Chains A and B, each alone.
Chain A
Amino acid sequence: MAQFGIDSYLYAKNSPVHRMNPTTKVVAVLAMVISVAIVKDIYMATFALLLSFLMILIAKLPIKFVARRIWSPFLFILIFAAALLLSGGEGEILWSIGFLDITKESAMDAALILIRATSAIIMLTVLLATTRFDMIVKVLYDLKMPVFLLQILMFSYRYIFVFSDELENMKNSMTSKGFRPTLSMRMFSSIANMLGMLLIKSFERGDDVYRSMVAKGYTGKPTIITKNKMHAKDYAFVSVAIVVALAIHIPALVQSGILNSWI
């Protein structure tokens, strides 16, 4: 499982971010992520990016680790931003390459998307690198996400590790038996049979586990004994996070003139 780098909790276990109450942390980060993902003002987006860097520092996460975690989603966004940049649109033309015109508007749009997406991803990474997954599930339970969905979430999380180990073994055994990728029906059939077998094996195991759990009195409620009781300082922190999350939208609102009637 190490190859996927899932569950990165082990980094720098002792930082203020690690010690924070999980409910506080999840609510505060979610508020920020939602707000940052839709921010329209490029300066505020840059501010959010700086804030996310600050979060990495406070959580004492190695930069290299964070960079590796955000690399593949970042690449996606980069390609998307590049497509947006090259697609042009109306406005002042900055450069012309062949039939493509890069306008000021499209450059601003692409930069905004790149910055706000990166900061949202970094914030989520910090949250997940400093919080155990079962704690996150517990918080979701406290936040009243339906138990039926949470049970599926918890079970799937467990199976992912079983599955990817199993898949790795199957791939190794196929390779050692001389399997080489060629573009032929036989290759597709081999891969499909491998995936099919993986599904069947895991289904049988999952069914057994579930039945034995039910026999032992499992009802679906998370039985984590830890109480995430929030104290005054937690409420204060969440309030500050929500205020910041709302505040970064003020410049865009002022610009669009919605606030003018109030001020």
Chain B
Amino acid sequence: MHISEGVLPAGVLAAGWVILIILLIITIGWSRKKFGNISEKIPLIAVVTAAFFVACLFRVPVPPTSLHLVLSGLVGILLGPLALICIFIGLLLQALLFQNGGITVLGVNSVVMGLPAIIAWFVYKALLKKKNTAVSAGLASAFSIFLSTLLLAVVFLAAGIDFGSLNALADYASGIPVLSSIVSALAGSSFGLTVFLLFLMNLPLMIIEGIICAFIVPFIEKVKPEMLEEKIDGKNRTD
């Protein structure tokens, strides 16, 4: 889900930073209004940030291979509006300690992963009215990966990076029944193709993340409910 250093042109990088800073100001203000003193939330944000960081290193064995978790959906469910801050710091740490992603693309990467995390929180809360925790959490986190994929495609489009117009592939695939119809539908629109390729790449991740979050959130709800954002606005705290 990361874009590396040196891939995007200056304009897109600058736009990423501007959008990130605007969103950070909005979400910090919003959280102040919602939670009061947000300094109290520092341990929770830091723990979730570290978890987000470690989870990105953790490989879930999916025989015959294994894949990295992203957990942006879980971050959103746990932190709500504070999720963007958490993802920004998590990606900053990854850029500093592993050169994963990068400093210049930090703005773009944070928006691509952070905005869907906040949206996942809304989706989770909306679904919670009708479905149980597991289903809501699973769908919300899968949706956040889907949204990140879409945003990533928008970034590629804005950067003018497209992976060919597919016409060559359309000729090549004309013999194969299903593939040819998909390809010919997408041929000519590079945006459709980019989305299609990224979606195909991220589909396993979407499913695995959905399943994992569908297990994690009910587990946390059972064992330590005050960690879930709903419960930490002061009402259920004993102190």
Q: Which of A99, A187, A209 has the largest number of chain B CB atoms within 10 A?
A: A99
Bound form: Cα–Cα A67–B39 in Å: 40
Contact B96 A152 (CB under 8 A): no
| CB-defined contacts of A80 to chain B, threshold 8 Å | 4, 7
Bound form: Cα–Cα A156–B99 in Å: 17
- Is chain A's binding surface mostly helix, strand, loop or mixed? helix
**Residue B162, interface by CB 8 Å:** yes
Closest CB-CB distance, B106 to chain A, in whole Å?
A: 11
**Residue A153, interface by CB 8 Å:** yes
Contact B38 A203 (CB under 8 A): no
**Residue A189, interface by CB 8 Å:** yes
Do A149 and B10 contact each other (CB < 8 Å), given the known contacts A80-B4, A121-B99, A220-B39? no
Closest CB-CB distance, A165 to chain B, in whole Å?
A: 10
Interface string of B206-233 (1 = CB under 8 A from A): 0010011111100110011001000000
| CB-defined contacts of B92 to chain A, threshold 8 Å | 153
The chain B residue sitting closest to A180, CB to CB, is B61
Size bin of chain A's contact surface: 35 or more
Closest CB-CB distance, A219 to chain B, in whole Å?
A: 9
| CB-defined contacts of A182 to chain B, threshold 8 Å | 63
The chain A residue sitting closest to B227, CB to CB, is A203
| CB-defined contacts of B90 to chain A, threshold 8 Å | 156
Bound form: Cα–Cα A124–B50 in Å: 21
Contact B219 A192 (CB under 8 A): yes
Q: Which of A145-195 contact B (CB under 8 A)?
A: 148-149, 151-153, 155-160, 162-164, 167, 181-183, 185, 187-189, 191-193, 195
List chain B positions with a Cβ less than 8 A from chain A.
2, 4-7, 9-10, 13, 28, 38-39, 42-51, 53-55, 57-58, 60-63, 66, 85-86, 88-90, 92-93, 95-100, 102-105, 161-164, 168-169, 171-172, 208, 211-216, 219-220, 223-224, 227
The 5 closest A-B pairs by CB, nearest first: A117-B6, A192-B215, A181-B61, A155-B46, A159-B50
Query: What are 18 A-B contacts defined by CB distance under 8 Å?
Result: A4-B57, A6-B98, A30-B103, A33-B5, A37-B13, A38-B6, A73-B4, A87-B164, A116-B6, A117-B102, A152-B86, A191-B212, A192-B219, A200-B220, A202-B47, A202-B51, A203-B224, A206-B43
List chain A positions with a Cβ less than 8 A from chain B.
4, 6-7, 30, 33-34, 36-38, 69-70, 72-73, 76-77, 80, 83-84, 87-89, 98-101, 113, 116-118, 120-121, 124-125, 128, 133, 136, 148-149, 151-153, 155-160, 162-164, 167, 181-183, 185, 187-189, 191-193, 195-200, 202-204, 206-207, 209-210, 220
Instruction: Taking A148-B42, A199-B227 as given, write out 5 further A-B residue pairs in contact, using a Cβ cutoff of 8 Å, ordered by the A residue number.
Output: A37-B104, A73-B100, A128-B96, A156-B49, A189-B215
